[in-house]
Amino acid sequence: MGLLDGLMGNASEINLTEVEKELEVILIDGEVIEKGYKLIRDLFIFTNTRLIVVDKQGVTGKKIEYHSVPYKSITHFSVETAGTFDLDAELKIWVSSTAEPIKKQFKKDKSIFDVQKAIATYVLKR
């Protein structure tokens, strides 16, 4: 997966050394990035302690919201696959003490399952 996949709404695994530099301002001592995925401009970052969802906003992407979710706070998650007429798949992550889930749209492909599998690995093994 490459640049074209990212532009099409497909998640692609990212180079961790590039992301470490970008996230060094929010990582704590001893926290290590273990896996990451890019979805257009947004990122799913899996560290040894939490999931960081990076939501780049606006035309330039300079406004950034960082969702920091400890794995123990994820109560459940779901994948809704694309249908015949609905071309988007959707990932939802519910966090304790919140009514609405974190939602991300994916295009009709299998990359949503890569991200879901990473979430399952980190949440269920803790």
With a cut of 70, say whether residue 1 has pLDDT above it. no
Q: Can you tell me the distance from the alpha carbon of 87 to that of 74, in angstroms, rounded to the nearest whole number?
A: 27
pLDDT tens by residue, 2-56: 444 444 445 778 889 889 998 999 999 999 999 999 988 889 999 999 999 999 8
What's the mean pLDDT in 62-82?
A: 93
Strands annotated E in 48-119: 50-57, 63-70, 74-80, 88-95, 102-107
pLDDT tens by residue, 84-102: 666 788 999 999 989 999 9
